[in-house]
Structures are given as C-alpha cells and as structure tokens.
Chains A and B, each alone.
Chain A
Amino acid sequence: MMLRLAAAAAILAALGLAAVPEASGEYGDVVLNKRSQKEGLRPVVFSHWFHRIRFRCKVCHHELGFKMRVGSNDVLMADIIDGKFCGMCHNGDIAWGPDRCDLCHSGKPGLPSGIYGGHETSGPGRW
C-alpha cells in the first residue's frame, strides 16, 4: 500500500515537472523595445541578475528614478548621454559608455517589451 502511494506520488511529481515550460531569458530579464526597433536597432535586454550583484535595487529604483513597472519609464538615448537613467553609470567610467550600442541593444529582433524569465506575475510586465 505504502509502495503504491509512493509510486502514485512519484508519477504525479514527474508529470508536474515535465509540464513546466522551457524558460526564456533569465529570471527578471527585461526587454525594452518601445523605440529600439523603430530606430533600426535590436531591442535592449536589461538583466536584473547582473545589475543586482553590483547595485542594490534602491540605486536605480530610488536614486535614478526608474519606476518598478516595465514600460513606465521613458528612457531616451539623449537622457542616457546626458547622464540620466542608465547614463549615471553607463558613461565609460563606471560601466561602458553609450557608444557601445551593441552591448545593450542585444535582444532578438521582434521581441515585445516586457519582463521575461518565467514565474512572472502579469503585473510588472503590464503596460
């Protein structure tokens, strides 16, 4: 009896595991494509995991003024070059400068803006 229960549990667990879809992007990856592709560039991929190793959330979401909702920030290259938003660090001093287009504009063409990487709620990517 115990064996049969264990067997049923294992089969159910295996089916549950098999049903998990293949993740796309790393957890917390953000694709920004409000303007990129219209301007002839790849969409931007922003990886939260890379940045949070180096900066706490509060640096960008408090000091730099990035709102915590994908699509709610109008990030223009002119602002970045002026040292706002990404440009606070991406200035060739703390991190690579805005002349290195390809390093940020590295996304698959055609990807819609949003948060990627699975486990998402519908909210942060809603805009």
Chain B
Amino acid sequence: MPGSIFPAERLAFVLAAWLVAGTALARDWLPLAKDGVHDPKSPAVRQLQEPRDALSVLPADTTGNMVRWVEALEKGAIEPRASIRPGTKVQILDQDILMSLKGGMPIVRFPHRQHTLWLDCSNCHEQLFKSQTGANKLSMFQILQGEQCGVCHGAVAFPLTECNRCHSVPRPNGRALSPAAPLPPHAKTGAK
C-alpha cells in the first residue's frame, strides 16, 4: 500500500521511476556542434551528417554508439563495402574459439565469423594473436590497457563494461570445463 511505506522507500520508488524513464530516453546522441570535439564555429557542423540522424534508425544498444553493429550488418540495416580495390580477397571464417577455460568467469566464446565480417585476418594475426589455438595468453589487465582485444573493444567496438558478451558460455556446475565436456558446434579451445 503506497501510504504505508517509509519516506526512504518512497524516495527510492521515485528514483527508480526516474531511472526507468532516464534509460528509455538515454539513447540519444549529442549534436556535432555540442559534442565537445567539433568546433561549433566550423562550417562542417552544419554540413556533416548528425549521429542522431544516422544511428537512431539502427538496431539499439545500451552502450558505445548505442548501436548493435553486427546486428545492423546482418539485418541489412547497413551495407558497408567489404573492399575497395579490385582483386582484394575478402575472407570470412565461421569458427568459434573457446577461451579462459580455467578461470572463474564464464568461458569466452570468440566468434570468428562476426569479427571477419568487419575485419581482415591480418588485422589480428599474427601480431596481436597467434593463429595456433592455445598459443595466446590473454589477460584482462592487458585488454584494459588497450592491448589484445582492447585494441578495438573499449575504443570502437563494444566497451569493456559488457563482460557477458564475451564471457558468454556458462561453466557446467560452476566448474572449469573439462576437455571431455561437450563444446558448442564449430568450437575449438583456445587461449588459457
């Protein structure tokens, strides 16, 4: 009964309602003239496309550009060119790698397909990551420093606040996945 609750709780309900409303309104983009990066006096701010115009029509996310970029690509909401020079070989690899098999967090499923839709193999191999499964020692410390996955995630790809998008495979019974446990299709086990 609303009349019987404590003032602190009433305040909490107001805050909760404000939060819900705020979340619903949060998917917005600063105009170029007010984004703190463009010079409001530059003629460009009247001529360049506004992020709101381009991004508001794409599949919604709650972070980064507020756009689910892979989904936008897969649904055909955007059709970015995959090459510009004649003769460039465009390569897609449909293979998942399971990583972090021994830690406490859910296992990382790295999907090659979604990454190669955007990137070429050479963007990650062999400098950032060796191609051989198990040969890469990943660390969240390194990633948060902008190395390894952090070269893109946290800068242009979805940010590092979204733990569960990478740590997405639950451990059976909360224990580390044993080699005998069934793996998702197309999966290879990778880095420690």
- Residues of A whose CB lies within 8 Å of any CB of B are 3-4, 6-8, 10-11, 13-14, 17, 22-29, 31, 42, 45, 47-50, 52-59, 61-64, 68-69, 88-89, 102-109, 111, 115-116, 118-126
Contact = CB atoms under 8 A, between A and B. Distances in A.
B129 interface: no
Contacts of B105: none
B133 to A, nearest CB: 23
A7 B69 contact: no
B37 A111 contact: yes
13 contacts: A3-B9, A7-B8, A14-B19, A17-B19, A26-B51, A52-B69, A54-B80, A63-B83, A68-B151, A106-B45, A119-B64, A121-B153, A122-B145
A14 B47 contact: no
A110 to B, nearest CB: 10
A55 B80 contact: yes
Given A69-B151, A126-B146, A14 B36 contact: no
Given A13-B19, A102-B43, A121 B12 contact: no
Interface in B65-121: 65, 67, 69, 78, 80-85, 88, 90, 117-120
Contacts, number: 195
Chief secondary structure at chain B's binding surface:
loop
Interface in B32-47: 35-39, 42-45, 47
A27 to B, nearest CB: 5
Interface stretch (B156-164, B169-177, B179-187): B156-164
Contact of B151 (A24, A28, A124): A124
Nearest to B160: A121
A54 B12 CA distance: 45
A57 B13 CA distance: 44
A69 B155 CA distance: 10
Nearest to B81: A55
Contacts of B54: 49-50, 53
Contacts of B122: 62
B68 to A, nearest CB: 13
B37 A45 contact: yes
Chief secondary structure at chain A's binding surface:
mixed
Contacts of B48: 50, 103, 106
Sorted nearest first, the 8 A-B pairs with minimum C-beta distance are: A123-B146, A7-B12, A119-B159, A106-B44, A121-B154, A24-B36, A25-B37, A62-B120
Contacts of B38: 45, 106-108
A65 to B, nearest CB: 11
Contacts of B42: 42, 102, 105-107
Contacts of B156: 27-28, 48, 52, 57, 115, 124
Contacts of B147: 123
B82 A14 contact: no
Contacts of B117: 56
B83 A58 contact: yes
